[in-house]
Amino acid sequence: MSYVIPKESYTGKVLSFDFGKDDRAVTVGGENTLPFLSFEGQQPSRPVIACEIQDCPPDDWPDTVKEAYKDVSGDPVAWARHCQDVLNAKAIALRLLSTHPDRDDRSAEDAAGTVRDVLAAVDVPLVILGSNHIEKDSTVLVAAAEAASGYNCIIGKAQEGNYKTIVAAALAHNHKLIAMSELDINLAKQLNILITQMGFSKEKLITDPMCSALGYGLEYTYSVMERIRLAALAQNDPTMQPPILGDVGMYVWKIKETVAPEADVPEWGTLRERGIAWEAITATAMLLAGTNLLIMRHPAAIETVEKTIDELV
C-alpha cells in the first residue's frame, strides 16, 4: 500500500504586492499554504531579503558586521552601491538613524536628500525606515515618502502613535507601508484596521509584529507570527492577510552571543562565526513562521539564508 502524504487546504490567502521599479521590482506574499509546504498549495513568490544600510556610520554595530562594510559605511550611497553591485542584494533597506534626537537629530530635509541620492545610485527596490522615534518619524518619513515619489518603495514604520501622518504620505506618493505593533496579534490586527479605515489598501500593507533574536524571546515571536499566518489562511481573516516583515539584523547584533569576546567565553567558538550563525538561524526561524520579507545585516548570514531558501523552495 502506497503512502499518501496528508495534506491540508486553506480558504484564505496571503496578499501580495510588488515594490521597486520596472524590471527590478520584486514581489512578496501570495501564498495559500504555510511556509514552504508547496505540495499543499501555491507559493508564487520567494521570500525576499533586504540588505540593511544606514545614513550614518554604524558605530553601534559590533566589529564583526562593521568589518564587512568598513570601506563603504561612511557614505550611504557607496554602501547602497556595494550591496547592489558586489553583494547582489535583491533589495536594500535604508535606515534613517541619524534623524533620531539621541543621535545626530538630522532634519527631515536632510533625510529626504539622502533618500534621493540613494535612489539615484541604485535600481534595486528600496525599503525606507525611520529611526523608530515616534515623533521624529512623523516628519522624517513624510519627507522621505515625497522624495521617493514614483519609486514604489516600502516606507515605515507606522505605529499606533504616528500612523496617521505616515499613512497619508504613503497614500499621496503611492508607496507600500509597514505597520508595526509590539508582539501581540490583537495589536497587529487593530493597527491594520485603523490604517485601512483611512483608505489605505490592505494590498499595499506589510505587517511587522516585531522580531527578537534567538535566545531572547524567539519562541514568542515565532508563535505571534504563526498565529497571524494561520488567521490569514485558516480563518480567512482579511486584516491578517498582508505579508509579514522580519527586521532581524537590528535585534540580533546587540545581544551577548554576537558581541561577547572569545576570551570571555572560549567555549562559544569564534566570535565571527557565532554572530553570523545567530543571525542566520534567527532569520530562518522567521521564514518558517511565515515571514515574507527579511531585513538582515551580515553578507555571510544573508548568503546562508539565501541558500536555505533555495533548498526549501
Backbone phi and psi for residue 254, each to the nearest 5 degrees, phi listed first: -140, 0
Q: How many CB atoms lie within 10 A of CB 296?
A: 28
Those residues with Cβ within 8 angstroms of residue 171's Cβ, 6 or more apart along the chain or in another chain: 198, 199, 200
The pLDDT, as a whole number, for residue 177 is 98
| pTM of the complete model | 0.95
pLDDT in tens, 42-66: 999 999 999 999 999 999 999 999 9
The pLDDT, as a whole number, for residue 265 is 93
The pLDDT, as a whole number, for residue 1 is 72
The pLDDT, as a whole number, for residue 219 is 95
Please give the Cα distance from 106 to 221 (Å, whole number): 32
Cell representation of residue 184: 501581540
Name the amino acid, one letter, at 81: R
Query: Which DSSP letter does residue 297 get?
Result: -
Cell representation of residue 213: 533574536
Task: Compute mean pLDDT per 10 residues along the chain, 313 residues long, and list them.
Answer: 86 97 94 94 96 96 96 97 97 98 96 98 97 96 97 96 96 97 94 97 97 93 96 96 97 94 92 96 97 98 98 91
Which residue, among 166, 195, 154, has the nearest Cα to 48 in the 3D structure?
154
Which residue, among 188, 101, 182, has the nearest Cα to 139 in the 3D structure?
101
CA 102 to the chain's CA centroid: 23
**Pairing state between β 48-54 and 293-296:** parallel
Q: How many CB atoms lie within 10 A of CB 220?
A: 12
**Pairing state between β 26-29 and 48-54:** unpaired
Domain 19-312: which topology?
TIM Barrel (3.20.20)
Q: Which residue has the cell 504586492?
A: 17
pLDDT in tens, 214-269: 999 999 999 999 999 999 999 999 999 999 999 999 999 999 999 999 999 999 99
The pLDDT, as a whole number, for residue 143 is 98
The pLDDT, as a whole number, for residue 48 is 98
Tell me the torsion sign for CA atoms 244, 100, 75, 149.
positive
Please give the Cα distance from 38 to 221 (Å, whole number): 24
Q: Break the chain into its structural domains and give their ranges.
A: 19-312
Backbone phi and psi for residue 178, each to the nearest 5 degrees, phi listed first: -95, 125
